């Protein structure tokens, strides 16, 4: 009845076949509990069965968040209380069925625009919810890749996006990721990183302003936005969110997939001391990935993905390689890698010492 695309082993394209409502009603349903970034909920890398309807639920939460170690605050808007919102994973051909809840304690109307979806402004037109309301949207995830989702209420789209309302939907090919020769690529761990350009207003003394309510932050924030110069650029909601206790972890020999989303502004990820073994910088898995990248490029309004297998232990930095944006404004995190040092790949022949003639 359904989906010829479930065949294992070869890259069968998802058939351009549109199911009727009774046919869709017969599909298996699964409910997925989302987890907070940088973690990603458990999922299959190769789909084991026919397309399914995958149910998700996200609650919108407006809240004041501290975004640096100086106590600067952001009147933030979030999906599920985190920046970015949680990453949703399905396989191509699956249906995403999202229930979006706008908590009664919020002040603003919201909605959601999925870049992976087709029609109605990405779903935004069909998901407008006022505080105290919820709505359910279904769409077919028929294109594999990492895709941004974000809030987009008519008339105040950029504000809701730069205040935190974005995340990633990852649609895996049913037969998993492949290199350009068609060989399978697999990961042991997946981390999701959302990069946010923030526009915090300053007062006449040059100090960052703190606002009592979300709506009172609006007028000043828009003025800063219009200058196109972010005050902070952060990974996952805060300067240093992915350092120290929050650092990502890996082991020598382990392959990680790093998903990187930026809903508003370009960025250029780089792993110091490592590489992108296989990178889909535009994030769409039907295209062959690029190999051996030093720095890759995520267009504002997209999500990309990079695979890397660690070969050396130590503390790596993962950052936006405009180094001012990384080290001055906040767009940097750490990956702590355990394992054995490889002298063949790198060796310090002589430690630093006085200059000898």
Partner 1 sequence: MLKSVHVALTLAISAGLAPFAATVAAETVNPAGEKLYKTACIACHSTGVANAPKVGNKDAWAPLIAKGMDSMMAIALKGKGAMPPRGASSADDATLKAAVEYMVYASR
Q: Is residue 41 annotated as part of the catalytic site, yes or no? A: no
How far is residue 57's CA from residue 78's CA, in Å, rounded to a whole number? 14
Contact predicate 312/346, CB 8 Å: yes
Residue 155: CB minimum distance to Cu ion, A = 11
Q: Is residue 321 annotated as part of the catalytic site, yes or no? A: yes
DSSP structure string for 85-136: PPPEEEETT-EEEEEEEE-TT--S-B--EETTS-SGGGGGGG--B-TTEEEE
Residue 165 binds which entry of Cu ion, partner 1, none, CB below 5-8 Å type-dependent: Cu ion
60 lies in the binding site for partner 1 (CB under 8 A): no
Catalytic one of 83, 94, 108, 110: 110
Residue 71: CB minimum distance to partner 1, A = 20
Q: Is residue 151 annotated as part of the catalytic site, yes or no? A: yes
CA neighbor of 290 nearest in space, from 275, 279, 274? 279
The CB-side HSE value for 131 (13 A sphere, CA atoms) comes to 8
**321 a known binding residue?**
yes
The CB-side HSE value for 154 (13 A sphere, CA atoms) comes to 9
How far is residue 266's CA from residue 268's CA, in Å, rounded to a whole number? 7
Give percent helix, percent strand, percent coil of the chain, each to the nearest 5: 10, 35, 50
The CB-side HSE value for 48 (13 A sphere, CA atoms) comes to 3
Smaller CB separation from Cu ion, 160 or 265:
160
301 lies in the binding site for partner 1 (CB under 8 A): no
**232 a known binding residue?**
no
Q: Tokens standing for 170?
A: 């990852």
Catalytic one of 62, 113, 197, 325: 113
220 lies in the binding site for partner 1 (CB under 8 A): yes
- 343 burial type by CB count under 10 A (0-12 exposed, 13-18 middle, 19+ buried): exposed
227 lies in the binding site for partner 1 (CB under 8 A): no
**150 a known binding residue?**
yes
**275 a known binding residue?**
no
Of 134-173, which residues contact partner 1 (CB under 8 A)?
Answer: 153-157, 159
Smaller CB separation from partner 1, 105 or 136:
105
Residue 119: CB minimum distance to partner 1, A = 10
Q: Is residue 270 annotated as part of the catalytic site, yes or no? A: yes
Residue 212: CB minimum distance to partner 1, A = 4
Q: Is residue 43 annotated as part of the catalytic site, yes or no? A: no
How far is residue 193's CA from residue 202's CA, in Å, rounded to a whole number? 27
126 lies in the binding site for partner 1 (CB under 8 A): no
Catalytic one of 44, 294, 328, 338: 294
CA neighbor of 314 nearest in space, from 257, 351, 272? 272
Sequence ranges of the binding site for Cu cation: 110, 115, 150-151, 160, 165, 321
Q: Which residues are catalytic?
A: 110, 113, 115, 150-151, 160, 165, 270, 294-295, 321
Q: What is the contact surface with partner 1 in residues (CB under 8 A)?
A: 107-109, 121, 125, 128, 130-131, 153-157, 159, 212-216, 218-220, 222
């Amino acid at each position: 009845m359904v989906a010829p695309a479930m065949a294992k082993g070869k890259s069968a394209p998802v058939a351009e076949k549109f199911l009727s409502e009774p046919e869709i009603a017969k599909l298996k349903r699964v409910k997925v509990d989302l987890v907070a970034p940088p973690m990603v909920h458990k999922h299959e890398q190769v789909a084991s069965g026919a397309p399914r309807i995958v149910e998700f639920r996200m609650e919108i939460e407006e809240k004041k968040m501290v975004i640096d170690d100086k106590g600067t605050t952001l009147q933030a808007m979030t999906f599920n209380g985190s920046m970015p919102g949680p990453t949703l994973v399905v396989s191509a051909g699956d249906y995403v069925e999202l229930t979006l809840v706008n908590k009664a304690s919020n002040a603003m109307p919201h909605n959601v625009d999925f870049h992976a979806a087709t029609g109605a402004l990405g779903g935004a037109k069909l998901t407008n919810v006022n505080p105290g309301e919820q709505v359910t949207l279904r769409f077919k995830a028929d294109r594999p890749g990492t895709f941004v989702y974000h809030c987009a209420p008519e008339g105040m789209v950029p504000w809701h996006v730069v205040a935190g309302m974005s995340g990633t939907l990852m649609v895996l090919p049913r037969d998993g990721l492949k290199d350009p020769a068609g060989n399978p690529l697999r990961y042991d761990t997946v981390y999701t990183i959302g990069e946010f350009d923030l526009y915090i207003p300053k007062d006449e003394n040059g100090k960052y302003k703190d606002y009592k309510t979300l709506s009172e932050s609006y007028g000043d924030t828009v003025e800063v936005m219009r200058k196109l110069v972010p005050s902070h650029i952060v990974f996952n909601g805060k300067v240093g969110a992915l350092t120290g206790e929050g650092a990502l972890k890996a082991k020598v020999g382990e392959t990680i997939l790093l998903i990187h989303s930026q809903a508003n502004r370009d960025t250029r990820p780089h792993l110091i001391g490592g590489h992108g073994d296989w990178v889909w910088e535009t994030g769409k898995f039907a295209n062959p990935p690029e190999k051996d990248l030093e720095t890759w490029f995520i267009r504002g309004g997209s999500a990309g993905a990079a695979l890397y297998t660690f070969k050396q232990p130590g503390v790596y930095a993962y950052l936006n390689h405009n180094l001012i944006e990384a080290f001055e404004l906040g767009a940097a995190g750490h990956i702590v890698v355990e394992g054995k040092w490889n002298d063949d790949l790198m060796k310090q022949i002589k430690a630093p010492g006085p200059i000898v003639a």
